[in-house]
């Protein structure tokens, strides 16, 4: 069951910064990064539980994890976390 994806404002900033960084290097890489967020909405229960009720999609070609919660009517992305920087910084969100 597909659900709309909503991003926490801080997660949106993180995603935007990452996409811009990849776009400067490769439009194809930026598009692949953006499609990961869409995949979460298409099949939210596919990815494992990582922290409490949060699930995490680890991106194959990028050092990022997308942390999200499944609600009754949408998926809420809590963080687009670079995996080599400040582990767990998003926990207070």
The confidence band for 78, taking pLDDT boundaries of 50, 70 and 90, is: very high
Q: At what angle do helices 27-42 and 9-25 cross, to 10 degrees?
A: 150
Answer yes or no: is 91 within a domain: no
Structural domain contains residue 28: yes
> Residue 18 sits in which domain range?
5-85
For the chain, the domain total comes to 1
Backbone phi and psi for residue 41, each to the nearest 5 degrees, phi listed first? -65, -35
What mean pLDDT comes out for the span 64-77? 95
pLDDT value at residue 48: 95
Over the stretch 21-63, which tens digit does the pLDDT of each residue have?
999 999 999 999 989 888 999 999 999 998 788 999 999 889 9
| CATH number for the domain that contains residue 57 | 3.30.2310.20
Reported in sequence order, the residue ranges of 1-93 that DSSP labels E, i.e. its strands, are: 5-7, 49-51, 54-58, 64-70, 75-82
- Let me know if residue 18 belongs to a domain: yes
% pLDDT > 70, the chain? 95
**pLDDT at residue 92 in the model:** 67
């Amino acid at each position: 069951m597909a659900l709309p994806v909503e991003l926490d404002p801080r997660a949106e900033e993180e995603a935007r910064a990452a996409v811009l960084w990849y776009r400067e290097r490769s439009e194809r890489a930026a598009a692949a990064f953006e499609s990961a967020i869409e995949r979460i909405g298409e099949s939210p229960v596919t990815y494992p539980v990582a922290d409490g009720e949060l699930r995490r999609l680890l991106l194959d070609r990028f050092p990022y994890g997308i942390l999200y919660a499944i609600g009754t009517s949408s998926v809420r992305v809590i963080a687009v976390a670079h995996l080599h920087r400040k582990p767990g910084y998003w926990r207070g969100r």
